[in-house]
Amino acid sequence: MNTVLGSKVKMEQVFIDGMRFPATRVKAGPCVVTQIKTMDTDGYWAVQLGFGEKRLKNITKPMQGHLKGASSEKKAPSFLAEVKLDSEPSYKVGDKINFSDVLSEGDTITVTGTSKGKGFAGVVKRWGFAGGPATHGQSDRQRAPGSIGQGTTPGRVLKGKHMAGRMGNETNSIKNLKVLKIDAEKGEILVLGPIPGRIGGFVIVKRTSEKKEQSQVVEAEAEVQEAVSEPVAQVEAPKEEVKAKETAAEVKEEKQNA
């Protein structure tokens, strides 16, 4: 398991070695296992996790049945997400997963969330268009998109043309973020840099690589040094054999002369 669910708390600043860095505080876990997907029934291995709390009476009857083994008498998870696995999981429905079981300080993570919705926006705000000139009879075209295509050929607006429309409210992922600090008492982690979404918005935190300890780095360097020195030893070995043969031939020749 390399994924945990959480919610964005707030942004703040931290000081490390006299330098100031932007950081985001995330409430991570605990997550409850709500469903296990198997190779026989679904064609792949996966675990569905639940996070947050919601009144059971505000959930539809089908969803209440789905969350029956993972909810209490009055509350149920409010946010669900699926995590694919390579092999059969050891978890069962109702098991809890803490962020300390998945993350540690120094890990590299990817955070996925829903960006803030900006509403209907024009092309200048949405796509960074320059707009038209303010003179030469075009005083009312300063934030207009301008031409949106050619004439007879192709005679239509091409798909994907940047135009005005709804901005934001999209699923975005920020990669290569670092876990600066873990607050076990509050159940929060401090992430280096900003993450998508509003305060209180749900996020998915996925560990992409673990922090290497100094001992692991030394061992890796030793393995590399050993791998580099092996060919040299293989090249030097025949030279020693040749010298031994030459010495044996000289001794034999001296005996014959004697």
- Dump pLDDT digits (tens) for 52-102: 888 888 888 888 888 887 777 788 888 999 999 888 888 888 888 888 888
Residue type, 155: G
User: CA of 134: how far to CAs of 84, 94, 131, in Å?
Assistant: 54, 64, 9
Of residues 51, 24, 32, 182, the one with CA closest to residue 111? 24
Q: Which residues contact 147 (CB under 8 A, 6 or more apart)?
A: none
Q: Is the pLDDT of residue 242 over 80?
A: no
My answer on whether omega of the bond before 154 falls inside 30° of 0, hence cis, is yes
Contact 29, 7 (CB under 8 A): no
Q: Per-residue pLDDT averaged across 143-152, rounded?
A: 92
What is the spatial distance between Cα 93 and Cα 110, in angstroms, rounded to a whole number? 26
Q: Is the pLDDT of residue 22 over 90?
A: yes
